[in-house]
Amino acid sequence: MIYADYNATAPLRPEARDAMMTALEIGANPSSVHGPGRAARKVLEAARKQVATAIRGLPQDIVFTSGGTEAAALAIQGVVRKLEQDCTLLVSAIEHEAVSKNAGHSGAAVETVYVQPSGAIDLDQLSDRLKVWDADRSGTPVLVLMLANNETGVIQPVQAAAAMVREAGGLTICDAVQGLGKLPLNVSLLGADYLMLSAHKAGGPQGAGALWMRSGAPLLPTVFGGGQERSLRSGTENLSGIAGFGAAAEAASRDLEKMESLASYRDAMETRLEREAGVTVFGKDVPRLPNTSNFAYDGFRAETQVMAMDLAGVAVSSGSACSSGKVRRSVVLSAMGAPDTLAECAIRTSYGWRSRLEDFEQTADAWLDILQRRNLKETA
Ligand code: PLP
């Protein structure tokens, strides 16, 4: 089987597995004062340092959560609560549901930041909106913008957008779930006030994640209890998951060069699919994650392609698969102005730390073969 669905979940890295096994053996609570408890605490703090290092941040600014979704909930709902809803969330049209739904449920006013057909947000629209910002009416502007899109891989101009928002007296919440391990990350350069991370997209386990926050940034907890994680996220820490997260973050940062080299394999695959089948590749004209390719063939529905690819031994996903496994039209491609009929025919391939050139070549072989058989059937 060729696995080309890293943006859904990356296979567990061996370093993460080892770290998890070691942590599981400890079998103690990091809040306990006895020896085993202190050993657990040491593992927790070592992982915090590894995750912080991967984003060039400080360990004390990391809050561990159960994943990207919970990090988004903490950031968005925590900021809105701290600002007593005297704010407006400026949410990009292509955010993951983990983010957009938390914005929608936060109780704050929400405005949309549109994207251009390229897949990147419209910085002019954002700038125009901020120029006429009326703080008495709209409160603090809070930009909610992802670093890289999970479907197209398009990298968003977070640094420029966050600078504009800061200038206007606002805050920026950035979902970097798809960025970790695929792009060099530096929170100081990025300029966001909050950054969401998830372990399983970088070769760590599912069910672990983190929120980085700029020291002093406003935030209230959304989960209450024993006061773990500086009282920002109560609940006994998922020690093995967090240990795996730390190890994966470290390994992924070390492997960044390899990740970058995937772009040339990806580009060669796309060139072939364009030449031999005339596919539409989304997000091609702007900076993109090196591992992601989202393409469509008009009239060939995504779910049919995904099933046929699975039968051919290649695991890919459609534009946006929801948790029930049903395929829905991609909000992201629609926001980019793709016609509905084309958006329904888009599949996403995404690669990662274990992928080789052959994986890309065999993905193209399998897909072209499937298309040919389908076309023969259509004309028969
Ligand atoms: N944000 C983005 C961009 C994602 O791709 C995902 C997962 O698909 C999430 C957030 C949610 O992360 P998690 O699965 O860790 O809750």
Please tell me if the CB atom of residue 150 comes closer than 6 angstroms to any atom of ligand 1. yes
The yes-or-no answer on residue 87 being catalytic is no
* Residue for token pair 């400080």: 58
Please tell me if the CB atom of residue 177 comes closer than 6 angstroms to any atom of ligand 1. yes
Atom of ligand 1 at shortest range from CA of 146: 3
CA distances from 35 to 26, 40, 41, 136, 235 (A): 10, 9, 10, 54, 21
Question: Domain 14-253 classified CATH 3.40.50.1100?
Answer: no
Q: What is the pLDDT of residue 325?
A: 58
Atom of ligand 1 at shortest range from CA of 199: 15
Mutating to test ligand 1, I would choose from 146, 150, 158, 177 the residue with most ligand atoms within 8 A of its C-beta, which is: 177
Contact between residue 377 and residue 283 where contact means Cβ atoms under 8 Å apart = no
Give strand pairing partners of 172: 143
Helix ranges restricted to H, 144-301 = 158-167, 187-190, 239-254, 256-277
Please tell me if the CB atom of residue 175 comes closer than 6 angstroms to any atom of ligand 1. yes
Query: For residue 116, how far is its CA from the centre of ligand 1 (angstroms)?
Result: 23
Please tell me if the CB atom of residue 153 comes closer than 6 angstroms to any atom of ligand 1. no
Q: Whose CA is nearest to atom 8 of ligand 1?
A: 8
Please tell me if the CB atom of residue 178 comes closer than 6 angstroms to any atom of ligand 1. yes
Catalytic residue among 87, 174, 322, 345: 322
For the chain, domain boundaries: 2-10+256-375, 14-253
Q: How far apart are CA 18 and CA 204, in angstroms?
A: 11
Q: Whose CA is nearest to atom 10 of ligand 1?
A: 68
Query: For residue 376, how far is its CA from the centre of ligand 1 (angstroms)?
Result: 39
* Candidates 2.60.40.10, 3.90.1150.10, 3.40.50.300, 3.30.420.40; CATH matching 2-10+256-375: 3.90.1150.10
Mutating to test ligand 1, I would choose from 5, 144, 201 the residue with most ligand atoms within 8 A of its C-beta, which is: 201
Q: Given the DSSP bridges, would you call strands 292-296 and 209-213 parallel, antiparallel or unpaired?
A: unpaired
List, for residues 233-264, the tens digit of each pLDDT value: 999 999 999 999 999 999 999 999 999 999 99
Please tell me if the CB atom of residue 205 comes closer than 6 angstroms to any atom of ligand 1. no
Atom of ligand 1 at shortest range from CA of 95: 3
Q: How far apart are CA 89 and CA 175, in angstroms?
A: 14
**CA angle in degrees (0–180, nearest 5) for 37-52-29:** 15
Query: For residue 117, how far is its CA from the centre of ligand 1 (angstroms)?
Result: 23
**Selection from 328, 365, 298 nearest residue 97 by Cα:** 328
- DSSP state at residue 7: T
CA dihedral angle for residue 225, residue 229, residue 233, residue 235, rounded to 10 degrees: -50
Please tell me if the CB atom of residue 348 comes closer than 6 angstroms to any atom of ligand 1. no
Residues of the chain short of pLDDT 70, as ranges, are 319-327
